Amino acid sequence: MESTVKTLHTDMIQEWEIDQAKLLRRLSEFTQQVSSLNNTLEEERRQFEKTKTSLLRELKIKDVTFDKKYQQTQEDFEQQIQELKHQLKKEQQEHQDDIQEWKSRHDVTLKTERTNNARRIYGFQERLSAKETEYAQLQNHLRQTQSEPSSPVGVGFSEISKDDRILYLEDTIAHMRKEHAAERKAWEAQLEMQETHSHHSHQSHHRQQQQQQQQRLDSTFNDNDTATSIAIAASREISPPQSLESPFLNIFSKKKKTLSLTGISSHETTRLNELTRQLKEAHAKKTDQMMLNFENEINRLKDLFINESRRVSMQHEARIQNLVAEHDQTIKDMVEEHSNAKEILKIEHQNQQEEFVEAQNQRLQRALRETEETWEERLKVANMSMSKDASEIQAHWETKRELMVAAHREEIERCRNELEVIKYRLRMAVEKLKESQSKASLLQDLQNSSTIEYTRLKFASKKAGLRLSKIEQEHSQARRIAKEIVQIADPDSHIGENVSLAEILQKARFNLSNTPKAEPYPVTYMSYFGF
């Protein structure tokens, strides 16, 4: 039992020692962190002081620069006032010169427009007379072309040159020749086809008759085969029946001579003569029929050609008449359109001239009115800016100075209170840090609270620094404004750098109370301070 208690006791001691070692290690770590934070805080304080010094130096330089700029601005403002007065007189003179120049320009423009209008009207009249002369020439040419009935050319060539007319006539003649040549070729081909067809039909008919006659002759004259073969060969060698003589007459004449030589009987001779006569009559009938058909075809083609020529000539005459009518109507329309266009141009030119004159007058009146209004406004603004009451400016600056002084005091008091609170919190934090070194069990909580407190203190110190810089800026601005007020009241006074703000304000109040009435300030100076 005792051994067990001892064992537990030793275990607890070991655990406590281990925990104590851990706590000591953590305490050393926290101590190092606190020292590093203190070093960082000191470094930031040194940086803050350095930044504060540089900012104060920069503010001082800016104050000096501002004073120089203010003096330069005041001088520039006075110079600008003189320049504005001189410019006002100069612009008034220029305004009068511009009025005279606009009047002279207006007169010159009116004269120029009238001259141009007269020149344009003269040009229109010349072109109109030229057009009328051209129309008269075209009418004479139309009468000449109408007096030539054999002319195949239309009349619509009034606006074409002589060479173009010749080329057009040559093309028309060549086209008509081609049409006639094509019609002639078609007629010749048709006639040739008809002749060929009739020739073939007539030749086949003659061949059939030759074959029949030859069969008869062969059956009749069996004893004379030599003469028959000669007659058949002669009949085959004869050309197609294009003449009025029949080839069979030659054959039978030869047969007759042959038979007469061989001594044929009179009966057979009579029969041969009858056959010859029949052949002659048949050949004559067919020849007469062919000639009649040929003459009928020729007459038909002549009638067709005459009818076609009449139809073409009638078409040409109708076309020429239509062209003449169209030309007359076109001339009438052009003359009417030209007269209407001439009247319209006269009216438009007169309207444009009146509108131009009215626009020039309106522009001149508007320019004069705008210039007068502009200068009246400028004079009003200058008079209003130069006629403000100095008492209002003095009261305004007095009120603004009191408000700035009160705000400055309140801000200083508030910053002092915040500094006291920050010091108290720093003391409390230091005491808490000292107490935390003796209490190892609360190190974690102390670390968290110290970190939070340090962050808050750091933020509060930064905020206090910013407020302090703002207070310093406002103090320097109030000091500068107080100096300006003193210099406004008493320009000959000089204030040193070691004089406090309260003394400057008292001096300004004293100067303002002794000053009966201040002179009006320039416009740029009042606008610079927000008035």
Contact predicate 341/128, CB 8 Å: no
CA distance 460 to 419: 9
Query: Residues 277-290: pLDDT tens digits?
Result: 777 777 677 777 77
User: For residue 300, what are the CA distances in angstroms to 183, 289, 523?
Assistant: 15, 16, 119
CA distance 256 to 263: 10
* Model pLDDT, residue 249: 45
User: Per the structure block, which two tokens stand in for 397?
Assistant: 């600056």
Contact predicate 479/59, CB 8 Å: no
Q: Which of 58-72, 90-104, 222-236, 355-369 has the lowest mean pLDDT?
A: 222-236
Buried b (16+ CB within 10 A) or exposed e, 38-52: eeeeeeeeeeeeeee
User: What is the pTM for the complete model shown?
Assistant: 0.20
User: Per the structure block, which two tokens stand in for 32?
Assistant: 């190092």
Q: 3-state SS of 63-85?
A: HHHHHHHHHHHHHHHHHHHHHHH
Q: Which of 47-56, 86-95, 336-345, 495-504 has the lowest mean pLDDT?
A: 495-504
* Model pLDDT, residue 148: 53
Give pairs for 141-145: CB < 8 Å, separation 24+.
142/324, 142/327
* Model pLDDT, residue 5: 53
- Domain coordinates of the chain in residue numbers? 162-319, 390-531
Segment of 60-74, 213-227, 377-391, 484-498 carrying the highest mean pLDDT: 60-74
Query: Residues 486-530: pLDDT tens digits?
Result: 777 677 777 767 777 777 777 777 776 765 544 444 434 334 344
